[in-house]
Amino acid sequence: MTSKIRVLITTPWPQGAVDAMREHFAVEVHEGPLPMPAEKWHAALQDFDAIAPTVIDRLPPAAFQAEGRRTRILGNFGVGYNHIDIDAARASGLAVTNTPGVLTDATADQAMGLLLAVARGISLGDWHIRDGQWTGWNPTDRLGTQVAGKTLGIIGFGRIGQAMARRAHHGFGMPVVFFNRSRIDPALAASLGAQQLDTVEAVLEASDFVSLHCPGGAETRHLINAERLKRMKPTAFLINTARGDVVDEAALVDALQAWTIAGAGLDVFTEEPKVHPGLLALTNCVLNPHLGSATIETRTAMGLKVVENLVAFFDGKTPPDQL
């Protein structure tokens, strides 16, 4: 691979992944401000053969319309790509890849962690100690909800949804019900203690915990809305490690305030890094700053996936993860 091929990484990566990219290409890393400003995008499209964006990047129209554009491929650092207009990219001859598979376990771990945290008040208990509010053990202090044996509902039964089911069923003895747009092999579902239901509503009504693992985008925007939140049990909890816009945040705030549902664990938000102010005031939700893939192993593997896709592309091959 020739070093004349120039690649821009729009957000700093783990060093091991950057070093791997530099073995093949001439690489520049945009260190800040983040996200990368529009004027930097305009220049980058003229100066670089490939750009590696992340979920925080909102590509300007010039990414698909600029005259004399040098950039031929976007190697997205992440599995989700609702921040990229795929149809416009294809129409303009711009290839796009993503990084599926490598963040499955880390994201499922995060979802399970949020489930436990909100059910047992783990984050709230930590802050009570730090704030000097703990006065000692007593039999009725900060009672949570038992997780073992409760029913988990999963919306979206792809790699991450299946990994979540595996943790819940085999680790905590939880029966699993799920909704997925396509039919899942019954034998696979059975091996995970899971049963496929026909509608989102059926899953919501049956579950003590609901974990979202569906893709973002127009089809799933506000999939969980006021009406569907009312379908959940008043003792149930919502977990979201998918995309922020899958949940109508205003409706969720109303449901949490009214105790229509018992709580929520959220790792993603509609307008990151902004968080709905109503969520910040509530004690029955746990909020994390988009940490689903945040392990050194996973973030490095994501970068290596981008490298693999770009190497294939510039070798004249179809990238393994082309969208």
Q: 1 pLDDT exceeds 70?
A: no
- In this structure, the answer to whether residues 50 and 165 fall within a common structural domain is no
Q: Please tell me whether residues 126 and 28 are part of one structural domain.
A: no
Task: Supply the pTM of this predicted model.
Answer: 0.93
- Tell me whether residue 321 is in a domain: no
pLDDT score recorded for residue 112: 98
Residues with catalytic roles = 243, 272, 290
Tell me whether residue 161 is in a domain.
Answer: yes
Q: Does 131 share its domain with 253?
A: yes
Same domain, 70 and 197: no
What does residue 298 show for φ and ψ, rounded to 5 degrees?
Answer: -70, -45
The proportion of the chain whose per-residue pLDDT surpasses 90, expressed as a percent, equals 89
The DSSP secondary structure of 1-28, one letter per residue, reads --TTSEEEESS---HHHHHHHHTTSEEE
Residues 94 and 138 in one domain: no
Residues 151 and 258 in one domain: yes
Looking at per-residue pLDDT, the higher value among 65 and 148 belongs to 148
Residue 217 is predicted with a pLDDT of 84
Q: Distance (Å, rounded) from C-alpha 198 to C-alpha 183?
A: 9
Question: Does a structural domain hold residue 122?
Answer: yes
Predicted confidence at residue 3, as pLDDT, reads 63
Determine the Cα–Cα distance for residues 187 and 219; give it in Å rounded to an integer: 28
Integer Cα distance of 285 and 313 in angstroms? 43
- Specify whether 21 is located in the same domain as 158: no
On whether residue 320 sits in a domain, the answer given is: no
Q: 242 lies in a domain?
A: yes
> For 18-52, how does the pLDDT look when each residue is reduced to its tens digit (9 = 90+)?
999 999 999 999 999 999 998 899 899 999 999 99
pLDDT tens digits, 263-305: 999 999 999 999 999 999 999 999 999 999 999 999 999 999 9
Which residues are registered as beta bridge partners of 178? 154, 196
| Same domain membership, residue 95 and residue 108 | no
C-alpha 25: how far from chain center: 29
| Residue 198 predicted with pLDDT over 80 | yes
Q: Classify residue 319: in a domain, yes or no.
A: no
Do residues 21 and 118 share a domain?
no
pLDDT of 66 over the 90 cut:
no
What does the pLDDT look like over 218-239, one tens digit per residue?
899 999 999 999 999 999 999 9
**Do both 90 and 111 map to the same domain?**
no
Mean of pLDDT over the chain: 95
Contact status, residue 48 vs residue 70, Cβ threshold 8 Å: yes
Q: Percent of the chain beyond pLDDT 70?
A: 99
Euclidean distance between CA atoms 30 and 9, whole angstroms = 6
Q: Are residues 159 and 279 in the same domain?
A: yes
11 inside domain: yes
Q: What residues make up the domain containing 240?
A: 104-287
Residue 13 pLDDT exceeds 80? yes
The confidence score (pLDDT) of residue 61 equals: 75
CATH assignment of the domain containing 67: 3.40.50.720
Does residue 95 lie in a domain region? yes
Predicted confidence (pLDDT) per residue in 107-135, tens digit: 999 999 999 999 999 999 999 999 999 99
The domain total for the chain is 2
185 with 204, same domain: the answer is: yes
